[in-house]
Amino acid sequence: MDFQTSILSRMSGFLYRCRADENYTMLEMTNGIERIFGHPADEIIGNRTRTFTSIMCEEDVPIMDQVVGLALARRTDWTMEYRIRHRDGNFIWVTETGGGVWDENGELLYLEGSIINIESLYQRIDEQTAGMRVTASKTNEILQSLRYLKLLAVNAGIEAARAGTAGSGFAVLAAEMRALANASEEAARAISNAQLKSG
């Protein structure tokens, strides 16, 4: 097996060359399109059975048009993430890096690039953010409890003042409750702010 064939067979995605038209009509595609996404290349090349845009998430097509159009105007490459619908119906996140190819007269010939499956990366990110959302929720619950504790401490202080000398010990306890609640609230807020920044 030659070098390119060997490498392409391990690639979690495919290489392409297409026209710069509304369907991104495929001229050439490597077999990763079928191996990873379930769509035979000969069904998409030349729009024989379906167009490339028909297997993209509809919401992502206008974004692609904008990104590609801007890159072509600047004659730079583009990199973007979007979703491809697998043959079984589920969407897979991919990252595409592509660019235009021009002839010696400056006429755009076609687009070409690579499309790589990054679904596992998105799943890991989603799992991590899910954990952060749970932690943030718990932090908010702690803050609510601390506000209640502060309210209790204030009320305890009022009752201790009403009791005069007899309530002096209770006043000390109320002050300690307030100090604990304030310190704990500051710590909880610091954790919450750190989560927001990292998110």
| CA–CA gap between residue 58 and residue 84 (Å, rounded) | 10
E strands, 58-195, are: 78-85, 91-102, 108-117
For the chain, the average pLDDT equals 80
The residue among 55 and 143 whose pLDDT is bigger is 55
Q: Give the pLDDT of residue 101.
A: 97
Share of the chain above pLDDT 90, in %: 53
Q: Give the pLDDT of residue 44.
A: 97
Q: What is the mean pLDDT of residues 153-170?
A: 57
Closest CA to 94 of 83, 107, 103, 85: 83
Query: With bands split at pLDDT 50, 70 and 90, how would you rate the model's confidence at 121?
Result: confident
Burial per residue of 166-191, b for 16 or more beta-carbon CB atoms within 10 angstroms, e otherwise? ebeeebeebeebbeebeebbeebeeb
Q: Give the pLDDT of residue 11.
A: 83
Q: Is the pLDDT of residue 128 over 90?
A: no
Beta partners for residue 110, in sequence order: 101
On the CB side of 47, CA atoms within 13 Å amount to 10
Q: Give the pLDDT of residue 4.
A: 77
